[in-house]
Structure 1
């Protein structure tokens, strides 16, 4: 793993890049009338790591981040995000996902804030989630497919989760719940 601390200099660059992305997204919507472009995972991952005090994993290995708050039990974290207005756009998972906790990042674009959820779902629990009437995430992973489902609907809403942290991007302010 190649772990990086998201320090003040990095988060400033990420926030600046977020506002560039937001302008580009608005311009693309006017050109094409489409839903725009998704928030890049690089931005949501950096912001989630900053807000949750996680180390970002830049190596092509398991997980997007590591929680080192307990030195004896470092947790592999998978971060998924959604920037759709409804928050219910589908997320996809690799056929070989392995992680200890799924973090979901939901952008509320009009307020420039991220709602960040530590779901308590690991890669084994994820396999049991239904993605359609007949299959689970695990079933599709066995078929070497990339399962897709709405984390908002299937986990956040179903478990009635509240955000652990809200990150106000413009002010660089973290509000813990």
Structure 2
């Protein structure tokens, strides 16, 4: 990225997807940045991010792990096809959509338990064999996508309250 990127103080959307970027410089100076696409690159680490982000897509990168995220305004996180076996602590109080499709998760990440605004949880194509009962305690969950896993009995509490649960 060019040196002058930091002078773009009013920038709201930055699309760096579909490149061969190996690194992205610190983006925390972009204090109005809301939408950030970093998908389909060669990133092995994420840059420092501004707390103003509402949408973040880091999918399809060779990240060895997802870092702990503390983004108070984030509404949607896409972390697809990273090979994740775990998800670190996520301090995302406004998160509504979490997309973790096509990873290597064997359990629903415990950090999801604290995402009380979550409406959509996409766990397709992981290695899940069960779903914890506490997932039924997510008060706003409307859609849970478990397709292409080996989960056949979602929590009855979700179904009873009208949550769409996809298993096949």
Instruction: Say whether the fold is shared (TM-score over 0.5).
Output: no
Instruction: Give the TM-score normalised by the residue count of structure 1.
Output: 0.28
Instruction: Give the TM-score normalised by the residue count of structure 2.
Output: 0.29
Which has the higher relative contact order, 1 or 2, with Cα contacts under 8 A spaced 6 or more apart? 1
The answer to which structure has the higher strand fraction is: 1
